[in-house]
Structure 1
Amino acid sequence: MFTGLVETIGTVSSLVPLDPSTSGGNGTSLTISDCSSILTDAALGDSISVNGTCLTVTELDSSRHRFKVGVAPETLRRTNLGGLKEGSRVNLERAVLGSTRMGGHFVQGHVDTIATIVSVTPDGNALTFRLQPREREPLRYIVEKGYITLDGASLTITRVNDEEGWFEVMLISYTQERVVMAGKTAGEGVNVEIDIVGKLVEKSVVGYFEREAQAEGGRGPAILEKIVGRLVEAKVGAMQQQQR
């Protein structure tokens, strides 16, 4: 578990394909350097978020300020880690402790999709990023003023357009100095993790309505009928208002 508060930015110093005969797949071993601040209490087997992806430390060299992680083929396909190269910079965060202040939000380090940066627009000393998810489905959980994790950084959603399939976040100058996304441009991809709370709420609500429908012989629960009725009334009222 992580908070989405990036602790430091590391540098990919080596990418070595793993031997399929020993690793069980065509994965990659990443060596990440220039990250001494997060290695003071690190140990083999620890979890470290690399661009928002929870990975396990397989080798540790604190004297040289670097560590290694293995990245499975599935992870390479589902995240932007497959596009890294020597010299790439990555956001890093250690797993939380029980005493950690939750300045961000609950982040699992499980990437849901990749979003493409559509545009970067300066707004004073801040930057507004418009992003389009690779799949439409994650948009159902993206709400204005809600949380989202981009390349491991906890950010607040400022705008959402479900019809056009994009959302926006803003990076203030302080954040720009501490995350890799600030250096990205239109066309580049970022890892996206949706706030787990939205998924849990949806599953609970769907489960409730399914149970109620079964109890009423397939007929929708009364509360759902009331909600639909109110939505229809509001829609009709808005249409009538526009015609006047």
Structure 2
Amino acid sequence: MFTGLVQSVGQLQHLSQYQLKITCPTIQDPVLAGIELGDSIAVDGVCLTVEQILTRGFIAAASPETLAKSTLGKVSENGKVNLETSLRVGSKIGGHFVTGHVDGTGQLESAEQTGDAWEICFRGISPKVARYIVHKGSIAVNGISLTVADCSNTGDWFQSAVIPLTYAETNLHCLQPGDLVNLEGDVLGKYVEKFTRYGLNTDANAAAETTMEILGRERTNVKDEVDIDPSLTFLAEHGYL
């Protein structure tokens, strides 16, 4: 689990088809502080596992699925990638919950500086992530937690306002129109979608009816006529019990 607050920008090299080497700017880089084998590190928003620790970086493997669903297989040699270590208990959560499981990709359309911010637009959004893009919602772009300032009804286009610090300290400033970026929708939206979908499922309704029958029997068997908590009845009617 990550928060979308990039800690460093490293360079990526392809040691083999599935093995990646990530080099940090310095040996004092915050990403390397306390790093251990097996740690999870987000590389351009993709959760990778540290398999070997180097003086100024680490080596990780990327599965065929990861390379197919993300931009990691397309990053040029020594290309810039955003880095973030996993969230630790007690750490500040300044962005939003990011899992490091990329939903799809999109393309940079434009990046224009307006006043004290950069207005960045993306198009060609993968349908698997477009449905989670909503006005004022959260979106992870190359592992960066951003707020959707504007978007189309279908989510295939959206715009974010980025402060100068974020623009300069991430690889956003390296992007050119047409470049691909990794996108991950807000995990909360995914759970809401599932609960909504399966809340109308026959099995779920059947389970609710069964629960109501049990509650009914309990009501009948209560000799002192104590009523069942109305809140429990409401939850059962709506498939939550």
Q: 1:99 is matched with which residue?
A: 90
Residue 83 of structure 1: which of 58, 62, 74 is its match?
Answer: 74
Q: 2:132 is matched with which residue?
A: 141
Q: CA offset at residue 128 of structure 1?
A: 1.1
Alpha carbons of structure 1 residues 127 and 44: separation in structure 2 relative to 1, 3 Å: same
Q: Secondary structure at the match of 1:76?
A: helix
Q: Does 1:38 align with 2:31?
A: yes
For 2:95 and 2:160, locate their aligned partners in 1 and report how far apart those are by CA, in whole Å. Answer: 15
Q: 2:194 is matched with which residue?
A: 203
Q: CA offset at residue 161 of structure 1?
A: 0.7
Q: Secondary structure at the match of 2:200?
A: helix
Residue range with higher mean Cα deviation, 122-131 or 163-172: 163-172
Q: For the Cα contact (< 8 Å) 1:59–1:67, is it kept in 2?
A: yes
Write out per-residue CA displacement over residues 198-230 of structure 1, whole angstroms, 9 at most, x where no aligned residue: 010111112222349956xxxxxxxxxxxxxxx
Residue 73 of structure 1: which of 57, 64, 71 is its match?
Answer: 64
Q: 1:60 is matched with which residue?
A: 53
Q: Secondary structure at the match of 1:115?
A: strand
Q: Does 1:190 align with 2:181?
A: yes
Identity %: 34
Write out per-residue CA displacement over residues 93-124 of structure 1, whole angstroms, 9 at most, x where no aligned residue: 00011011111111100000001112222212
Q: Secondary structure at the match of 2:165?
A: helix
Q: CA offset at residue 165 of structure 1?
A: 2.5
Residue 48 of structure 1: which of 41, 46, 50 is its match?
Answer: 41
For 1:102 and 1:148, locate their aligned partners in 2 and report how far apart those are by CA, in whole Å. Answer: 15
Q: 2:230 is matched with which residue?
A: none
For 1:83 and 1:107, locate their aligned partners in 2 and report how far apart those are by CA, in whole Å. Answer: 22
Q: CA offset at residue 74 of structure 1?
A: 1.4
Q: 1:3 is matched with which residue?
A: 3
Alpha carbons of structure 1 residues 32 and 72: separation in structure 2 relative to 1, 3 Å: farther
Q: For the Cα contact (< 8 Å) 2:131–2:155, is it kept in 1?
A: no
* Root mean square deviation of aligned Cα: 1.9
Q: 2:218 is matched with which residue?
A: none
For 2:178 and 2:14, locate their aligned partners in 1 and report how far apart those are by CA, in whole Å. Answer: 23
For 1:212 and 1:42, locate their aligned partners in 2 and report how far apart those are by CA, in whole Å. Answer: 46
Q: Secondary structure at the match of 1:141?
A: coil
Write out per-residue CA displacement over residues 15-55 of structure 1, whole angstroms, 9 at most, x where no aligned residue: 111xxxxxxxx523323232522112000110000000000
Runs (5+) with no aligned partner, structure 1: 18-25, 216-244
Amino acid at match of 2:6: V
For 2:36 and 2:205, locate their aligned partners in 1 and report how far apart those are by CA, in whole Å. Answer: 51
Q: 1:150 is matched with which residue?
A: 141
For 1:155 and 1:134, locate their aligned partners in 2 and report how far apart those are by CA, in whole Å. Answer: 15
Alpha carbons of structure 1 residues 214 and 41: separation in structure 2 relative to 1, 3 Å: closer
Amino acid at match of 2:42: S
Q: 1:109 is matched with which residue?
A: 100
Q: 1:173 is matched with which residue?
A: 164
The correspondence of residues 112-123 of structure 1 with structure 2, limited to 5 A, is 112-123=103-114
Alpha carbons of structure 1 residues 134 and 214: separation in structure 2 relative to 1, 3 Å: same
Alpha carbons of structure 1 residues 161 and 134: separation in structure 2 relative to 1, 3 Å: closer
Q: For the Cα contact (< 8 Å) 1:113–1:133, is it kept in 2?
A: no
Between Structure 1 and Structure 2, whose CA radius of gyration is higher?
A: 2
Amino acid at match of 2:15: V
For 2:199 and 2:177, locate their aligned partners in 1 and report how far apart those are by CA, in whole Å. Answer: 42
Corresponding pairs, count: 204
- Normalised by the length of structure 1, the TM-score is 0.78
For 1:137 and 1:108, locate their aligned partners in 2 and report how far apart those are by CA, in whole Å. Answer: 15
Q: 1:127 is matched with which residue?
A: 118
